Amino acid sequence: MMNAKMVKALNKQINEEYYSSYIYLAMAAYLDDQDLDGMGHWMRMQAQEEHLHAMKIFDYMLERGARIELYSVAAPPREWDSPLDAFQGALEHEQYMTANINTLVDLAISERDHATNNIMQWYVSEQVEEEANVENIVKKLKMMGDTGHGLFMMDRELANRPAPSIVAEADGA
């Protein structure tokens, strides 16, 4: 059984993961409105992945006999200045999520909750990957500037992102 402090923190993280899903959906809508359907697709896949992250914590808490509390999810922004601005916002958001995960790891360690620390290590690794993926896109968008051809090529590349799967997420892939 998890202690109340850990349960409260994990319930908050579920909400953060759902907010992540919402912000990526908002970014997808913005990019689709800009006729950048491939970039919008990438953001929709990211939104699905964030949902899976929330459910991983949800299921873990159920396994541990913890009481889950779902909170209201805040409305995300709806507009960005450019595709680059949207992806820079995604990078900043991932850095924020990394800080949240690190706080959860610190709490699990201080509470001597080894099982929660163990599952949080998956999230630590996931955040390294998340930040690297978005940072790579940001670097490419900066490199190409506002050229239509560059945006077209990046849009086509990002359209190929596969949907996340529950099996891949559960295995840490």
pLDDT in tens, 146-165: 778 889 999 999 999 999 98
Considering only CA atoms, which of 8, 1, 4, 10 is closest in space to residue 119?
A: 10
Cα angle vertex 54, ends 42, 90, to 5°? 35
Total tally of structural domains belonging to the chain: 1
Q: Tell me the per-residue pLDDT of 50-81, one tens digit each, with 9 for 90 and over.
A: 999 999 999 999 999 999 999 999 999 999 99
Q: Residue 159 belongs to what domain range?
A: 4-171
Check residue 79 and give its pLDDT: 97
pLDDT of residue 146: 74
The answer to whether residue 2 scores a pLDDT higher than 60 is yes
For the stretch 99-130, pLDDT in tens is: 999 999 999 999 999 999 999 999 999 999 99
Confidence of residue 171 (pLDDT cuts 50, 70, 90): low
CATH of the domain at 146: 1.20.1260.10
Sequence-distant (≥ 6) Cβ neighbours of residue 92 within 8 angstroms: none
> Could you tell me which of 83, 97, 95, 96 has the C-alpha nearest to residue 27?
83
Tell me what percent of the residues of the chain surpass a pLDDT of 70: 95
